[in-house]
Amino acid sequence: MATPFLRLANQCLVANLAVWTFLSVAGGIDRELAGQEPPATIETTAKAWYDLFDGKSWRGWEEDRKEFWRIENGALVAGSLDKRFPRNEFLCTLEEFGDFELQLQYRIEGTEGFVNGGVQFRSQRIADHHEMTGYQADLGAGYDGSLYDESRRNKFLAEAEAEVLQKALKKDDWNHYRIRAQGDRIQLWLNEVQTVDYRETDPSIPRTGRIAVQIHGDGVTKVQFRHLQLRKLPTTPVP
């Protein structure tokens, strides 16, 4: 007959073996799960917001467009209210972006001609030309909150509804733009009112490119952009 001490020792040994077996199995499961990639579209994997423009320098932006663009009071500025701007001009980031969310403030003023500007994204410069090609979040001339395809399909892909625009737009004042591009889906918000929810159906359209600010030509126009912030989003696989 086993003594009480031996019975206690055997019970402890059995308990330890059970714990060791459970941890081994659980560890194997953990190791197996650790090798699996989380779905790329999980929102919690988005990166933190950071300043795309620091409000004082050309860092991260082209520096050869100073003939047309300047920095004033923490904003990127082009044009004036005393003369007509001759042609479209863009100021581009040096880096290219794919899936991201961008927010910024803009103000556009003008007295004559086509008073308009825009924010390019997933775009590229046309070689040996002042134009760019790609998506544009339009602004000014009644097109605020609309999505245009600049120098490519040359048409609006989605337009803000008139009644929505009337409620959201602050004329001759600072407006907040939010642009979200993830996979084939592009969304725009004007002062936190959604104006566009577009799905790209052409698989040949690039999903990466530069971001740029634009002033449209043929108008007595002044356009300003400030508080540009960006966060990168998880890449959505191409179907």
Residue 235 CB neighbours (<10 A): 15
At residue 191's C-alpha, the angle toward residues 187 and 195, to 5°, is 35
Residue 56 CB neighbours (<10 A): 8
Structure token pair of residue 71: 């920095």
Residue 15 scores a pLDDT above 60: no
- Give the model confidence (pLDDT) of 76-96 as tens digits: 999 999 999 999 999 999 999
- Give the model confidence (pLDDT) of 26-41 as tens digits: 444 343 434 444 443 4
Say how many residues make up the chain: 239
The helix or strand, by DSSP H or E, that contains position 55, with its residue range, turns out to be none
Return d(Cα 76, Cα 227) in angstroms, integer: 10
- Give the model confidence (pLDDT) of 143-162 as tens digits: 999 999 999 999 999 999 99
Please report which residue ranges of 104-158 form alpha helices under DSSP H: none
**Region of poorest pLDDT, from 44-53, 109-118, 163-172, 182-191:** 44-53
The helix or strand, by DSSP H or E, that contains position 16, with its residue range, turns out to be helix 4-34
Task: Categorize the per-residue pLDDT at 237 as very low, low, confident or very high, splitting at 50, 70 and 90.
Answer: low
Whole-prediction pTM: 0.80
Assign 197 to helix, strand or coil: strand
Nearest-10 Cα torsion for 8, 14, 19, 21: 170
- pLDDT of the residue at 239: 58
Return d(Cα 72, Cα 92) in angstroms, integer: 17
CB 157 within 8 A of CB 99: no
Return d(Cα 81, Cα 220) in angstroms, integer: 6
